[in-house]
Chain A
Amino acid sequence: MTAQQLEQALDKMAREIVAAAPPNGELAIVGIRRRGESPARRLLPRIAAAGRRVANYGVLDITLYRDDLSTIGPNAVTRGTEIEFDVTDTWLVLVDDVLYTGRSVRAALDALVDLGRPRAIKLAVLVDRGWRELPIQPDFVSLSVKTTAENIVKVKVSEIDGVDGVDLL
């Protein structure tokens, strides 16, 4: 996926979110640290352009909720959750770059319900690469690809990698 295709994918995702969101009630966009942050932030102006105000934006750190904490050891780096609004009763879209086993999303759901009780939690991902280990499915997907366990799906964003794009290695 090129940088331009990534832009178009985000445009399309924003339109789909606006179409699906209930007309009244608070919309919230939450990116999963660290690679969900950038797509989540880039969705904001697009959702606004599609005619919906997003008052609530935040970033969720799931490190402390991971189910593999005891095996990742010192690689567990916490960067903190930054959700300044009350999630209770919001229609909340969780954003991540790649959906794979579903374990990050499981951790994110646990972290979110510790913050409050959203009216609904939806999942938006740029790439669904399959191989789920938990019963979790996305609501908004830009790209679904068949992969093998050896493949690496790399979503690059200019904030971290200097360039935009999606590579399948």
Chain B
Amino acid sequence: MQNLMDAKTLAYINMFGVLGTLENLCELVPEANEIIKDQKPISIGFDVKGGPAATLFFKNGKCRMEQGCGACDVKLPFSSPEKFNGLIDGTVTPIPSKGFTHISFLLKKFTPLTDVLSKYMRASEEDLKDPVFFERSTRLMLYTIGVAIAQIGNNDEIGKFSASHIIDGSIYIGIKNDIGVELICKDNRLVTVKKPPEKYRAAMIFDSIETARALFDGKVNALTCIGTGKIEMHGMVNMLDNVNRILDRVALYLA
């Protein structure tokens, strides 16, 4: 683990920011939807000792994630955040503690699904030449980053310091006014909603999906983009100031 990062926070990001993006993947990407569209309802629980717990539900061709894994068909226990993080980076193979009869779903559907996710989250230059792929991939990255902001603000020691300076209210982070996430701050705790809010106190808006992508890929400087107006900030800018400090740590965790 690098300096200034902790495994538990990374586990929360991996759970809700990475695996949680399967919700959107199945909705946005036909290739992903194809994998689960005929699947009978099934749920997979991820139980991380000393870390997060959540369940992915697959039903009617859709996927959704809920916190906790009290009632799931397949349960994957992890003895530590490090072990769970190993699942995400491919170095750990999980062994179910419940639901052995559903192993085939894990192997034949869930694993291919995560492969599609990886394809979109770590996109190749070639794939990105397709404008449809480009749009979907960038949108998914925005959702992952948006959720990661909340997880870092709620779990990472330095992130919590930043969050402690964010006043209550809604923050919009988005591409123009149609693709975006809402960060809700209440008593210095952050929650991400993966759609634009109706009303907000502060907003950080990218002028185009290309700007957002270039920023996510580290190809442009965020401050320069603000200076040129490619990223517009308005409203309670002090909220954004602290969100931006967390965003700096998102890059560290998701690198």
Chain B binds chain A: no
Residues of chain A touching chain B, judged by Cβ–Cβ distance below 8 Å, are none
Binding site for A on B (CB under 8 A): none
